[in-house]
Structures are given as structure tokens and as C-alpha cells.
């Protein structure tokens, strides 16, 4: 004899929170956190901006301003060979 177990109302699953309520709550929390961090640490953040600018620009300058470091061939080492007809 097989009987099915009825969990009843006490064992019902909780409803999942709707995603439409999640994002506004998250955005409000993040906005509040950013505002409070800005108010408490404004001097530290503004004092670090020049260093953050340098930190961001160093890799970019390395990539874009060091062009031609002998990509591929290592026999040259910066020496320019004379072309035919030059003395």
C-alpha cells in the first residue's frame, strides 16, 4: 500500500523574491554606500587621483609609445643597414 505524503501548508516553499524588486533595492543601497564613502573619504580620494591617473596612463604609454621594439626579428638591435647606392 502506497500513500502519498501531503506536506500541508507548513511545508510549502517560500515564494522567490521577484527580480523587479531586487534591482531598485540594490541600486539604492549602492547609491547610499557611494554617497557615504564619498562624504567620509573625499580628501583621500581626491588626494589619490593624480596617482591613479599615472597608474592608468603608464600601461597605455607603454603599449602605444614604445612601438617597434623589434617585433619578431632580433638580429637588428637598432642598427640601420645601408641600402644599395648609399655611401
Does residue 82 sit within a domain? no
pLDDT at 85: 61
Question: pTM of the prediction?
Answer: 0.42
Which of 58, 62, 41, 40 has its CA nearest to residue 50? 58
Does residue 54 sit within a domain? yes
Number of structural domains the chain divides into: 1
Q: How far apart are CA 72 and CA 68, in angstroms?
A: 10
For residue 35, the enclosing domain spans 23-64
How sure is the predictor about 82, in pLDDT bands with cuts at 50, 70 and 90?
Answer: low
Does residue 79 sit within a domain? no
Does residue 57 sit within a domain? yes
Which residues fall within 8 angstroms of residue 70, CB to CB, at 6 or more apart?
Answer: 76, 77, 78
| Mean pLDDT rounded to a whole number for the chain | 78
Residues 59-71: tens digit of each pLDDT: 888 888 876 566 6
Does residue 51 sit within a domain? yes
Residues 8-42: tens digit of each pLDDT: 566 667 777 677 889 999 999 999 999 999 999 99
- Residue 68 phi/psi, 5° resolution? 85, 30
Amino acid at each position: 500500500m502506497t500513500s502519498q505524503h501531503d506536506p500541508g501548508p507548513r511545508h510549502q516553499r517560500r515564494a522567490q523574491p521577484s527580480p523587479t524588486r531586487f534591482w531598485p533595492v540594490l541600486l539604492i543601497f549602492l547609491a547610499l554606500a557611494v554617497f557615504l564613502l564619498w562624504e567620509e573619504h573625499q580628501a583621500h580620494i581626491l588626494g589619490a587621483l593624480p596617482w591613479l591617473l599615472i597608474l592608468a596612463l603608464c600601461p597605455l604609454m607603454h603599449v602605444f609609445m614604445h612601438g617597434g621594439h623589434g617585433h619578431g626579428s632580433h638580429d637588428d638591435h637598432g642598427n640601420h643597414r645601408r641600402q644599395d647606392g648609399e655611401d
